[in-house]
Amino acid sequence: MAKILIPTPLRQYAGRQDAVELNGSTVGEVLDALTSSFQDLRRHLYNDEGRLRSFVNVYVNDEDIRYLSKDATPVGENDTISIVPSIAGGLHAG
């Protein structure tokens, strides 16, 4: 099983867990299993077309899947998937 790290802002949609272990041979399969288990999480990760939202970054063992095979990136039972939502904003200095 691959381990998925759940970021703090999304834990309320994942049973308040910081990590879960799920089966799947690709990132897409594991994320499907995650959003099947925690259906409220789907709208925070995916847009209406079923694609990962642009501000959601996913890593397998610290490698950004955008530079690998995206959701077809293979995962093994000892891999760790990290979901990292981008954070916008800040203080305008002026």
pLDDT tens for 31-66 read 999 999 999 999 999 999 999 998 999 999 999 999
Examine residue 91 and state whether it is found in any structural domain, yes or no: no
Q: Residue 73 is encoded by which pair of tokens?
A: 């990136």
CATH code, domain carrying 37: 3.10.20.30
Flag whether pLDDT at 70 surpasses 80: yes
Examine residue 50 and state whether it is found in any structural domain, yes or no: yes
> What is the average pLDDT score of the chain?
92
Examine residue 14 and state whether it is found in any structural domain, yes or no: yes
C-alpha to C-alpha distances, 29 to 12, 18, 37, 52, 69, nearest whole angstrom: 22, 19, 12, 13, 13
Domain range for 71 is: 2-85
Number of domains in the chain: 1
**Per-residue pLDDT, 92:** 56
Task: Please report which confidence band the pLDDT of residue 86 belongs to, taking 50, 70 and 90 as the band edges.
Answer: confident
Is pTM, for the whole model, over 0.85?
Answer: yes
